Amino acid sequence: MKVLDYQLLSRIKNCAISIFGTLFIIDTYMIVLRHLKASIAVLFASVSIANAQVEVVKAAEPKKNGLSWLNVKNDKRYIADHTKDLTVRIFSNSKFSRFVVGHNGYSERLPYATNDNLNIGAGFNWRFIGLNFGVKMPFVNSDNAKFGKTKGFDLQSFLYFRKLQIDLYAQSYAGLYVSRRKSTERDERDDTYPYRPDMKTRHFGINAQYIFNNRRFSYRAAFVQNEFQKKSAGSFIFGGGLYHFRAKGDSAIIPSNIAFPATFWDDRYNKTAVTALFVNAGYAYTLVVKKNFFATASFSVGPGLNYTSRRNEVIDDEYGGLDYQLNGTLRVAAGYNSPKYFVGVQYMRLTNKNGIPEPAAWQQFETGSFRVTIAKRFKLNRKFEKKVIEKIEEVTEDMEDIIR
């Protein structure tokens, strides 16, 4: 708990720093937006024509569009639609990833974690087009001496349709540290954490959920900022997904200097892979206070089936088998929302726990992010929008001619 508390306090500290840094650049940001609004809109339109053609053009022909069932007419008493506005945001966020090995009969566990970086960036949404771009925030990501350096990429894409919500993950990391200091035998006076530069992880996954009360409850209001939840509402959610996870080290994943050897089985494997198929169900709710202040919480959980393989490359030994899978997804957001402005925080966490071919043993993968967002919505010239849509239609017709 002390390590977890430290990590939580560390994230809160970094986010507090990011909030002050974000507020510091707001004035400059707003001035630049006033002068570049037109050119930004033109650039977005020219870059996004190919990506937006299906969503925009086919929306006018719902009977011929296989995805038309995703379209929903919002209850205007509960949700204000701002998808036709240009929503521009600045944000700071921190993504995290953890790989944990444990045993049901013991409280001890071996958790590997990435050394998270705090990023700052900007993005936009217009209709069904969205893009965010971020870079490392300077001066605050300076803890490599304590936790080691993590390299890699982390792509987390969250698609919020009105009836359907989809999470897409593609992650690859190299260089993890043991986030529970007492898991290994070491000098407790040393302020650093055990670091494995050889440890590598990869994760690919998809999770989709259907939103039942889609006319009155909006994920977009809290997480995309292109809608405005005017009244409190909630919805049951149901879905499922598929993911694949791999972890590999040059030496054994369970090191020889483990502080509690009796907790783990006698296994020197240095590579493991998990493929899981699962379902889940839960509930999401947004509480609106005094019209503009909101708090959103969403949680889903469910069972699944996984196939886990483990390999000892030193003696060329590999084995695996089927076992249980448990998954959970948590989303929390809070802040201020109005027809023009949004200020808020968002937290998302995916957890997958997998049994392995060893009595009472398991491996768990966790990933997520914490974000602070400030956004503003701009009304676009409808004549300009019409010209963009006409151009999209022309490109679509040209593409259809080529396909034929």
- For 104-163, the pLDDT digits (tens) are 766 778 899 999 888 899 998 887 778 888 888 877 777 888 888 999 888 888 888 889
Report the share of the chain in percent with pLDDT over 90.
44
Q: What is the pLDDT of residue 38?
A: 35
More confident residue, 34 or 250: 250
Return the amino acid letter for 395: V
Return the amino acid letter for 112: Y
Task: In whole angstroms, give the CA distance from residue 8 to residue 368.
Answer: 13
**Mean confidence (pLDDT) of the chain:** 79
pLDDT band at 67 (very low <50, low <70, confident <90, very high): low
Task: Tell me the C-alpha to C-alpha distance, in Å, between residue 371 and each of 31, 106, 296, 327.
Answer: 24, 34, 14, 22
Q: Are 28 and 132 in contact (CB under 8 A)?
A: no
For the chain, what is the domain count? 1
The arithmetic mean of pLDDT across residues 26-55, rounded, is 34
Q: What is the pLDDT of residue 314?
A: 79
pLDDT band at 398 (very low <50, low <70, confident <90, very high): low
- Residue 286's nearest CA partner among 207, 367, 346 is 346
Task: Tell me the C-alpha to C-alpha distance, in Å, between residue 217 and each of 79, 200, 228, 231, 237.
Answer: 7, 39, 10, 9, 11
Task: Tell me the C-alpha to C-alpha distance, in Å, between residue 306 and each of 117, 136, 163, 223, 275.
Answer: 31, 35, 28, 30, 5
Q: What is the pLDDT of residue 89?
A: 94
Return the amino acid letter for 196: R
- Residue 159's nearest CA partner among 92, 216, 211, 231 is 211
Model confidence pLDDT, tens digit, residues 314-360: 777 888 899 999 999 999 999 999 989 999 999 999 999 999 888 78
The structure tokens 């996954």 sit at 205
pTM over 0.75: yes
Task: In whole angstroms, give the CA distance from residue 52 to residue 130.
Answer: 10
In this structure, what is the dihedral angle of CA atoms 156, 159, 160, 163, given to the nearest 10 degrees?
-130
Q: What is the pLDDT of residue 182?
A: 76
Report the share of the chain in percent with pLDDT over 70.
75
Euclidean distance between the first and the last CA atom of the chain, given in angstroms as a whole number: 61
> CB under 8 Å, gap of 24 or more: what pairs does 248-254 form?
248/199, 248/200, 248/201, 248/272, 249/196, 249/198, 249/199, 249/200, 250/198, 251/198, 252/312, 253/101, 253/199, 254/101, 254/110
- Residue 240's nearest CA partner among 162, 156, 327, 308 is 327
For residue 231, is pLDDT > 90? yes
* Residue 120 structural domain: 2-403
For residue 382, is pLDDT > 50? yes
Task: In whole angstroms, give the CA distance from residue 401 to residue 320.
Answer: 50
- Residue 153's nearest CA partner among 134, 130, 177 is 134
Q: Are 378 and 88 in contact (CB under 8 A)?
A: yes
Q: What is the pLDDT of residue 153?
A: 85
**Length of the chain, please?**
404
157's tokens: 């894409």
Lowest mean pLDDT among 81-85, 197-201, 340-344: 81-85
Task: In whole angstroms, give the CA distance from residue 249 to residue 246.
Answer: 10
Task: In whole angstroms, give the CA distance from residue 372 to residue 159.
Answer: 19
Model confidence pLDDT, tens digit, residues 264-304: 666 778 999 999 999 999 999 999 999 999 999 999 999 99
